[in-house]
Amino acid sequence: MKSLKFDLTDLLAGLMFIVFGLIFGLTSWFDLDMGTARRMGPGYFPLLLSGVLILLGLLIVAVSTRHEGEPIGAVAWRGMALILLAPVVFGVTVRGLGFGPSVFLCALIASFASVKMKPVKALILALCVALFSMAAFSYGLGLPYPRIGPWIPEPIANLVPNLSPAIAWVKGLFASAPPPPPPATGG
């Protein structure tokens, strides 16, 4: 008996396209107005595209049974869990913890996605990233987010030095610097 041969990646890809096609197609069909060919409603073009997508998905599935493919290979489970978590944590905490601590957490979580990262190194790295972000984005570009948020108790927040006067002083140095010489061409 001939064993069943198929390309798993292609099969799954085809199925994925069919599922997407069905989601968009059924939503267009049931929820949206088709209109006429002359005056197309919001559902006309999406339904057309969904049909094409399902057709392509079926074709990909059909082709996948003709040949054997390579195995899917390693999946970065640890990377996925931590890397994808990092922006979410940033989003959840940026208002409460404030910009600086939130960037610190985000970088720290992302650090552990690699098996090679050591805890102390990760802490130092995250701290550096947070300090740099504070300096460049918050003080430098002036992004309007609180640097230390309300979730951090006041006594601890007060320990963080207020750098605004220092930054203003540095900016003042640049402002009073002589303007660059005019171009030599004189145009």
- Binders in 129-148 for another protein, by CB under 8 A: 129-130, 133, 137, 141, 143-145
Cα(18)–Cα(51) distance, rounded to whole angstroms? Answer: 9
**Can you tell me which of 49, 123, 127, 163 binds another protein, judged by CB under 8 A?**
49
Give the range of 42-50, 146-154, 160-168, 169-177 binding another protein by CB under 8 A: 42-50
Nearer to another protein, 109 or 152 (CB): 109
Q: For residues 23 and 32, is the Cβ–Cβ distance under 8 A? A: no
Instruction: In angstroms, give the least distance from the CB of 1 to another protein.
Output: 29
Alpha-carbon span 87 to 49, nearest angstrom: 32
C-beta of 30 vs 154, nearer to another protein: 30
Structural contact between residues 71 and 11, judged by C-beta atoms closer than 8 angstroms: no
- Restricted to residues 64-123, the positions that interact with another protein (CB under 8 A) are 72-76, 78-80, 83-88, 90-92, 94-95, 103, 106-108, 110-111, 113-117, 122
Q: Find the binding residues for another protein in span 145-184 (CB under 8 A).
A: 145, 180, 183
In this structure, which long-range contacts are made by residues 20-24, counting pairs with CB atoms below 8 Å and at least 24 apart in sequence?
20/53, 20/57, 21/50, 21/51, 21/53, 21/54, 21/57, 22/50, 22/54, 24/49, 24/50, 24/53
47-55, 149-157, 165-173 -> range binding another protein (CB under 8 A): 47-55
Of the CA atoms within 13 Å of residue 7, those in its CB half-sphere come to 15
Tell the smallest beta-carbon distance from residue 160 to another protein (Å): 19
- Region near another protein per CB under 8 A, out of 17-25, 146-154, 155-163, 164-172: 17-25
Q: What six digits make up the tokens of 168? A: 């203003």
In angstroms, the CA 173 to CA 146 distance is 25
**At CA 140, angle to CA 137 and CA 143, rounded to 5?**
45
Residue placing its CB nearer to another protein in the complex, 87 or 158: 87
As measured in angstroms, the least distance from the Cβ of 177 to another protein is 12
